[in-house]
Structure 1
Amino acid sequence: MSAGEEKSQRPWLRLAPLGVFLLLAGLFVARLFSGDPSKLPSALIGRPAPAFTLPAVEGLAGVSGFGDADLRQGHVSVINVFASWCAPCRAEAPTLLTLAHDETLKAAGVKLYGLSYKDDAANAVRFLTQEGNPFDAVGADSLGRTAIDFGVYGVPETFVVRGDGVVAYKFVGPLSPYALEKTLIPEIEKALKASAAPPS
């Protein structure tokens, strides 16, 4: 049998690469639209925040750094991972200011922390000066090690931490007013209830 006759008897061999490509493309599209990207799983949910101590951002007057000990003081903490070079971080800045000015959450003792991710100090200061600084404290994570320990995929990301230092929730991506009202504030309220409950 000649090579030409053999090929004509097995036309599926020529179609196999196309079939594999279409299968992989289909799986990719299915995963892409299979859920809310803000609900990416985190290994830290239900576990204590990693140990860390972040210095203050140099040049940010009157604003201290923070560490894991600050997250175990009985109040609910919200940690926002941001960077001046991150366009979505600029987009979510007004929403963070809204969160910072929420009188109900303030009265409940909720603290808002900023984690400045792999950023130049001068750029971070400029960013917070231009956009407004919603944070009670801002830590400089210049090497990104703390963000790695938190399992950060990219900026921005926001974590809700209970008063005992246990990570309760993770939001991936920029916060919109809708996400703040429908997702983040309800998660903060859940953390407040859990923090107020007596230990079992």
Structure 2
Amino acid sequence: MTAAPAFSLCVYCGSRLGAEPCYAQLAEQVGHWIGRHGGQLVYGGGNAGLMGAVASATLAAGGRVVGVIPQSLVAREFAKHDCTELHVVASMHERKRLMAERADAFLALPGGLGTLEELFEVWTWRQLGYHAKPIGVLNANGYWDGLLAFLRQTHAAGFVGEEQLALVDVGDHPETLLPRLVQAAGWVDAADLRAI
């Protein structure tokens, strides 16, 4: 019987590679970190773009990969059939629900409209008390700088409180942000991470 993963991290990211090679490299770094530390990736089930890169890297490093993809996107996003588990579901709502259930923390990498929508949904759910799972934004190469500046503007304008902004942990490197998410979710302590 296979041992349970040390942790389960839901990663939101683009189904495209983006304009710069650094984005794919970042996705691979995240996947390698998850796999090296005995973790499980939960993601959108696609084999294209950053989604495919993070999943392939996780598998290559010995981690588990749980993909969740709607039937309507199986061909468009090239479903990754070598996932440890691939769940083909009926709708986007079911996809997001299952991804949230199977993960103990959430991480946003560079991506487009879908990534933004997923990030803001779990962020909203957290502020409303529907879950208490950690949320991280990996701002490598300044990808999220514009969004973060806008969020500070929403705070200055009186629409978003400091406590809401504080619900998301922003970091610029996987090796520092991922351990914080793991610890915040209560999986392991810092000494355990250094020993892995």
The structure whose RCO (Cα within 8 Å, separation 6+) is larger is 1
TM-score, length-scaled by structure 1: 0.36
TM-score, length-scaled by structure 2: 0.36
